[in-house]
Amino acid sequence: MKQLTQTIFVLILGILVGAVVMAVWGHDPWGSYASLISGALGNLRAFTSTLARSLALVLTGLTFAVGVRAGLFNIGAQGQMLLGAVVALSCSLLPLPLWLRLVAALVLSGLAGMAWALPVAILKLFRGVSEVISTIMLNWVAHWLVFYLVLQKLADPVLGQRTFLVPRGMRFPVIKGELTWALAVSLAVAGFFFWFLWHHAKGYEVRAAGLNPRAATAAGISVRKAMSLALLLGGISAAWAGAIQVLGRFPYAITSDLANLGTLGFDGIAVALIGRNHPLGILAGAFFFGTLATGAAKMGLRGVPIDMIYIVQGVIVMFMAAPEALRLLRWRRPKPRREVSG
């Protein structure tokens, strides 16, 4: 309960800082936020669009969260997400029935995400390379690889600004408006991580390794294996974020500036932080940032640059780093404990 109040407080702080920035640049902050809300949640169409926008964030949020649970700062979701998207798109070319191509796309993109996470695990566990460095380097390698494939190999022969389209029968079926059954993937993966972390022995080992690696080792748990497992499962989840973005959302392709994939991987970090690395919290966190992102497009119509939401996101993450920062804001400070030296 205390954590929830804290989180809500941080979210409000982030929104306030955003308002100040907008006001300084001469925009009307409350009018802009009002159009953000109405643009994201105002009617059923907007609401389904916001939900659709949140689905990939759930998955990249889970990637970061399972890493933290194992004691890792895995910021490799971005590269794994890009790779998953391009592998899923490429599966359109397989000579299979369309529904089987969809299945193949999920299987193969998941494998690709796992393959991209493997060097991180190997470098970390056998060479002691910090996962922060290796994942960022692999993110950039993935960026240029996917950029190359999208421009040179998968481009639409007629329209230069995107790749070819995913064939109709291979897409996730539409539920309502922009929302598709990609929803089931995100919910299932969130459910899986909940079951895995709290109701499965291996998940228990992952959490033990993250809470106290020495105690875990003493209890006979292989911290190496637990960390590898968290990295590999995270890789699958992140790659599926890319896959459902391509197979389950307009424009059912990848734009040649990779804009429709954007920074879904990095955004997952903030989602996981405000969701306290718990699948349920992540669902809520993804919805929060999904609302911001969908509504920001509406706000953009009023001339407020969409990057605004990254300022809000950055402020939120910085405050989440220091829970004690909030204590400074309380009007009544806790009484200083008298310390007895001796």
CA dihedral over 10, 15, 20, 21, signed as positive or negative: positive
Smaller CB distance to other proteins: residue 22 or 102? 22
Among 6, 9, 15, 21, binds other proteins (CB under 8 A): 21
Could you tell me which stretch among 142-150, 158-166, 184-192, 199-207 binds other proteins (CB under 8 A)? 142-150
Cross-strand bridge partners of residue 174? 180
Cis peptide before 251 (omega within 30 of 0): yes
What are the phi and psi torsion angles at 255 (to 5°)?
Answer: -70, 155
Counting contacts by CB under 8 A, is residue 308 touching other proteins?
A: yes
* Closest distance to other proteins from the beta carbon of 185 (Å): 26
Q: What DSSP assignment string belongs to 313-336?
A: HHHHHHHHH-THHHHHH-SSPPPP
CB atoms within 10 A of CB 201: 9
- The tokens for 49 are 């669009």
Counting contacts by CB under 8 A, is residue 323 touching other proteins?
A: yes
Name the DSSP class of 306: T
* Closest distance to other proteins from the beta carbon of 269 (Å): 6
| Residues 6+ positions from 141 with CB-CB distance below 8 Å | 79
Name residues contacting other proteins, limited to 45-74 (CB under 8 A): 73
Among 130, 176, 211, 250, binds other proteins (CB under 8 A): 130
User: Nearest 5°: CA angle at 161, between 286 and 159?
Assistant: 130
Could you tell me which stretch among 97-105, 158-166, 232-240, 266-274 binds other proteins (CB under 8 A)? 266-274
Among 15, 37, 98, 132, binds other proteins (CB under 8 A): 132
Interface with other proteins (CB under 8 A), residue total 52
Q: Do the beta carbons of residue 162 and residue 256 sit within 8 Å?
A: yes
Counting contacts by CB under 8 A, is residue 94 touching other proteins?
A: no
Counting contacts by CB under 8 A, is residue 255 touching other proteins?
A: no
Query: Which residues contact other proteins by CB under 8 A?
Result: 21, 25, 73, 75, 119, 123, 127-130, 132-134, 136-141, 144-145, 147-148, 151-152, 263, 266, 269-270, 273, 305-325, 328
